[in-house]
Amino acid sequence: DAVTRASIEASMLTTLVTQPIWVIKTRMLLNCNKRISEFQNFKNQTSQIYQQHGFNGFLKGLQLSLVLSFSGVVQMYVYEGTKILYDKLEIPRTPFEEKNFICGSLSKVFSVLLSYPITTMRTRIQQNQFVGECVKQKYNGVGELFLRTAKEEGFRGFYKGISANLMRGMGQKGIYFYFYEIFKDLLFQKKAESL
């Protein structure tokens, strides 16, 4: 469908443009030096990425980010599907219209469970890629990262930090879809009245 295709294309284009910022942000988050300001941290990480990897360093994890760009479409389909299921189950409605909040939260749970291993690998590939004195690289690519994580940490290694991500994401997407439906109804109501 045209809307889905447009959504995927927009998401992939956004990913291509913003990938360097994601790499810098990831590295900034992992910097524990309390003595430097945010700007110094940004400047320091940008310089370090370029010195260690050249321009390609700013594209670390791009393939994984492009795969993750599909998660928004998956989430929207799951949201619409859970709304249909919610109605089929004939769950009583209240004036609060919690259906949209619940279905939005569930769509995020499904999306996170599906995409979290990719998110974990992307974060690890974007982190400081060298051990010790910038001689030995931690991972030689996504394939090695996947195999080592599976071997050394098992299935759970791909889901580290998922509980915090779910707590944040469920509330965020629940609120997002709750107000999405309210504004959508208002917009279409005004459009119908103007005709």
Query: How confident is the model over 46-83, as pLDDT tens digits?
Result: 998 899 889 998 998 899 999 998 888 899 999 999 99
Spatial distance between the Cα atoms of 108 and 39, rounded to a whole number of angstroms: 33
CA 183 to chain centre: 24
d(CA 86, CA 26): 38
Residue 195: pLDDT above 90? no
Neighbours of 156 (CB within 10 A): 9
User: What's the average model confidence in pLDDT over 153-168?
Assistant: 94
Give the tens place of pLDDT for each residue, 5-60: 888 888 899 999 999 999 999 888 888 788 888 889 999 999 988 998 899 989 98
pTM for the structure as a whole: 0.78
Using alpha carbons, list the distances in angstroms from residue 77 to 4, 33, 67, 89, 111: 10, 42, 17, 18, 10
- Amino acid letter, residue 181: E
Is the model's pLDDT at 133 over the cut of 60? no
